[in-house]
Structure 1
């Protein structure tokens, strides 16, 4: 962010006089509360504004499509089903008795299963019913192919032996109708469903691994995370007695996806109205890779931002690497047009993402990345400004269902970086702002959406950022905007440290459309309140007042949408907190329309 000083009497003018600009150049802070300061946005400012208006939607945990074998009694060969009765005194277990970790709790739970039959006169069919209950117990613990049987035996003194078969995994069978490499699909299933690791590199020995629901569920979800394929798993009998086989049915998913959209989530100097478009190519090489492009263009064609991302699997456990490049080009308009302010930035990055937790109740990812940004800005009568930014990041995020009809989410991200100022102008300004050098920041977000009644839900979210020192404009948290305090414009209230709280009461119902409109359409109406507070600079700049800011507002929105098809949104918000700019308007209107294909 570049800054100018100008006389207070002209602070509400929409254009600055050329003579005044040249004669009153001054380096100072971003504190808009001080009326003598005009902020001149740069490449970091605009790039940050774009990123913080494009938050990815939450991905709720998914139910894996798995067909399990039915639970049926097992008949031991050579055993008569005559009505001869015995008095059951004791049950002894043999075979894979260590499927469950030995503990008093597990022992008591297993004993509780057989207690109803102890001391009773039982027929062979009664004993089979008991073993079926033991089988059900093991399967409820997650061992979905385990089985309890009565082996051939002579019963003496009322002691009955029950053998536990673990249901070990056989080689998977894959019916692959997609372009995904079959060997890769098989390896994904084995890596995630087999528990027994062997060798220094941790290769999996499926023949020594029992079939577990949690691992089978993870294998199904990881396989469905592969772009461009849909997968369903089932259990079938194995090639040997006591073994089970995973059968995978893999069908083609969407090979190409895209979207177009329009919104007014810009501002005075970058253009309020924006056009958006993007595309995704899935499974290009047959190894689960993906190529993604995203484009943003202001309606006045003064801001262009493009992103190219290529991601691919690097192992069979679901870990993916991404190589990406983004380019930004801008020319400031509105109150800054006379400054002939323009610039661009280039950002390269590499990112790794691993699915730490995958099951029907939780979805948690960890990621790490490294990015290089080269930002160049020019201004009338000033030399080109050069800033080079290198950052490393590590984060964890996820969603989980802790309560019925509820969805919780969290996001934690730590960033460490170094900012180099490679021109004399920026270095002199840094003597005031102290943004150059090594820095760190930590971002956090947590929230919960709880459904109640037939149509309603209550949503709350808390977001924040802390920083080790004063930050460059590209690293600040934006308190105002469509995903923050919605009563303020994009870029208003850019702080080094701060928090945002949002609460919403939502009503969701299907619209009364005719059959031609199709199923799945949904109307969402919500009333909300937002509040954001923070400090413009981590370390206040000497001589400048008003380092803290508190923004708040309330409003309502209505959304008409259908998943993976379209979304229309209208949001109105009214300001109740302090002003972040000299703009007299207390109301904000946000519009967006997207079509997916």
Structure 2
């Protein structure tokens, strides 16, 4: 009894301290699961599998003439027939040889007007020209038909088709990028007879590749009849990038002012593989993270490994007296494979195997003991093993971009994951959906709409919960103000240019916005009226300055529409958010 007494006092003191500042409406919503605990121990930096969809870039698509100028590659097909143009004969059937693109039925349809009637040699030339025109109409610009020397027996005429193929791809101008990276992506969609549109699609996709600044190509006759050579001139993009970021996007409990530095190399070994390393710091936290992505195939399939680790201490009054410390880490292995790609559309499937770990303790009386987190074991540790299956679709037009992401998360009892008698623990199933829509209203004038949602079948540990409040959620409230099992978030903003400075290529945009979100737990009832604390809403105004590709700054001021009890000690809690990013310092 005496040995346990020191542990009971801190727990009781913690309970009294938490309840002295708990957000009362939230407590009323789910008495058994007040969201204050996740706010004391802030959510860790989220791994890539949980990151929101990035803001899509304004529409851009390279013009076909800029990449592949028109070429006259019609095959030189010699035909030798005696001068008997006035003589007539009757064809009962055409025997078309060497064709693989069109079926016999398609060819018969083109040639039917020349069958079973008297025709001349000129008509015969027209018949084979009909076949050549059919190929050209389907963008097989270097394919054609001719009539070989023959004697016409029993009314049967042979027509020979020549289908030229892309046999040689010559890459010029590369520095570090392996030529096979470019060559394989062109050849992947151009194995059969040369089709101009398919080739152009492959080149446009390469032009959109961030590893390539610019490219141009031209077709040339090959050394062997029926073969074509493609010469591609490439200008590689700069692949190394260093960023310094200052913002106030972290939870005030560990210090909202965040300093970040990140270095990225998009072509580490010349394979198109990328490496990213970063470090972030607040007054109460330190976090290291890194990722490596390796291309697997010519269809842009990749394998990525992500790792992050960090520690934090609560510095916000009055919780700082509890000496709360926490540590966390994540590991992720992701396979991502585009199933369909074009310059304007992409459909991708992927699977992530993830592991998240966190532990927390506190020492109100000097002795370190486990902190009572939701879902943690008796040592204050939470371990989550999960498989995450995601689907992504993006379509680009001349004035808009539309992106959708869906992800199914299956928590597993594997690799010593946390398993409790009652939920929450590592066993769960949830679905996340995200939508981004960008509309170009005028030059540099954008309408942006975002939507996020999460639905879970059971209670979730804080690592997996849906968050409301903060710069990427409902602005005007502190970061991660509400955490719950399920949630919906919607946001809309308009970016309007108000100042341009051509000398520095700078632009200032005014950004009115509105945010709305609602959350609810599986263990409690949903409160639907607008004054309930599980709903957050705000309106606001932002300013964004961007200069070349090197510097950008943004300032947002959000005005809460739904009032909640929260401290007003930081800019963030007063609705003010800033973000400064400098590249290539």
The reply on whether 1:356 has 2:350 as its aligned counterpart is no
Q: Tell me the secondary structure at the aligned position of residue 488 of structure 2.
A: strand
In the TM superposition, residue 475 of structure 1 has moved relative to its aligned partner by: 1.0
What pairs with 1:493-512 in structure 2 (closer than 5 Å)?
493-508=482-497, 511-512=499-500
Q: TM-score, normalised by structure 2?
A: 0.77
Q: Tell me the secondary structure at the aligned position of residue 249 of structure 2.
A: coil
Question: For residues 532 and 391 of structure 1, do their structure 2 counterparts lie closer, same or farther at Cα, with a shift above 3 Å needed?
Answer: same
What pairs with 1:374-393 in structure 2 (closer than 5 Å)?
374-381=357-364, 383-384=369-370, 385-393=380-388
Report what 1:56 is aligned to: 54
Report what 1:555 is aligned to: 540
Worse-matched range after superposition: 232-241 or 487-496: 232-241
What pairs with 1:364-513 in structure 2 (closer than 5 Å)?
364-381=347-364, 383-384=369-370, 385-401=380-396, 404-418=398-412, 434-452=423-441, 456-508=445-497, 511-513=499-501
In the TM superposition, residue 589 of structure 1 has moved relative to its aligned partner by: 1.7
CA distance in 2, matches of 1:259, 1:113: 68
Deviations 1:347-376 (A, max 9, x none): 222112223222111133322111222212
The reply on whether 1:213 has 2:197 as its aligned counterpart is yes
Report what 2:134 is aligned to: 134
Question: For residues 92 and 522 of structure 1, do their structure 2 counterparts lie closer, same or farther at Cα, with a shift above 3 Å needed?
Answer: farther
What pairs with 1:118-133 in structure 2 (closer than 5 Å)?
133=133
Q: TM-score, normalised by structure 1?
A: 0.75
CA distance in 2, matches of 1:421, 1:577: 43
The reply on whether 1:313 has 2:295 as its aligned counterpart is yes
Question: For residues 212 and 575 of structure 1, do their structure 2 counterparts lie closer, same or farther at Cα, with a shift above 3 Å needed?
Answer: same
Deviations 1:445-496 (A, max 9, x none): 1232223456644333321001121111111111222122222221012221
Worse-matched range after superposition: 548-557 or 490-499: 548-557
In the TM superposition, residue 249 of structure 1 has moved relative to its aligned partner by: 3.2
CA distance in 2, matches of 1:87, 1:565: 75
In the TM superposition, residue 527 of structure 1 has moved relative to its aligned partner by: 2.1
CA distance in 1, matches of 2:89, 2:243: 68
CA distance in 2, matches of 1:444, 1:504: 20
In the TM superposition, residue 175 of structure 1 has moved relative to its aligned partner by: 2.9
Worse-matched range after superposition: 251-260 or 491-500: 251-260
Q: Tell me the secondary structure at the aligned position of residue 177 of structure 1.
A: coil
Question: For residues 248 and 443 of structure 1, do their structure 2 counterparts lie closer, same or farther at Cα, with a shift above 3 Å needed?
Answer: same
Report what 2:71 is aligned to: 70
In the TM superposition, residue 266 of structure 1 has moved relative to its aligned partner by: 2.2
- Check conservation: 1:504, 1:527, Cα contact below 8 A: yes
Deviations 1:256-314 (A, max 9, x none): 2111111121232121211121111233323222211122112xx31112211122123
Match of 1:526 among 498, 511, 514: 511
The reply on whether 1:593 has 2:575 as its aligned counterpart is no
CA distance in 2, matches of 1:589, 1:112: 75
Match of 2:164 among 146, 164, 167: 167
Give unpaired runs (5+ residues) of structure 2.
Answer: 1-8, 371-379
Q: Tell me the secondary structure at the aligned position of residue 435 of structure 1.
A: coil
The reply on whether 1:267 has 2:251 as its aligned counterpart is yes
Report what 2:13 is aligned to: 21
Question: For residues 42 and 387 of structure 1, do their structure 2 counterparts lie closer, same or farther at Cα, with a shift above 3 Å needed?
Answer: farther
CA distance in 1, matches of 2:77, 2:542: 65
In the TM superposition, residue 126 of structure 1 has moved relative to its aligned partner by: 8.5
Number of residue pairs aligned between Structure 1 and Structure 2: 545
Question: For residues 269 and 136 of structure 1, do their structure 2 counterparts lie closer, same or farther at Cα, with a shift above 3 Å needed?
Answer: same
Match of 1:340 among 308, 323, 344: 323
CA distance in 2, matches of 1:23, 1:360: 57
In the TM superposition, residue 318 of structure 1 has moved relative to its aligned partner by: 2.0
CA distance in 1, matches of 2:124, 2:236: 50
CA distance in 2, matches of 1:449, 1:133: 41
- Check conservation: 1:318, 1:355, Cα contact below 8 A: yes
Question: For residues 212 and 225 of structure 1, do their structure 2 counterparts lie closer, same or farther at Cα, with a shift above 3 Å needed?
Answer: same
Report what 1:295 is aligned to: 279
Q: Tell me the secondary structure at the aligned position of residue 244 of structure 1.
A: strand
- Check conservation: 1:534, 1:548, Cα contact below 8 A: no
CA distance in 2, matches of 1:350, 1:523: 40
Report what 1:5 is aligned to: none
Question: For residues 127 and 470 of structure 1, do their structure 2 counterparts lie closer, same or farther at Cα, with a shift above 3 Å needed?
Answer: same
- Check conservation: 1:174, 1:249, Cα contact below 8 A: yes
CA distance in 2, matches of 1:412, 1:283: 29
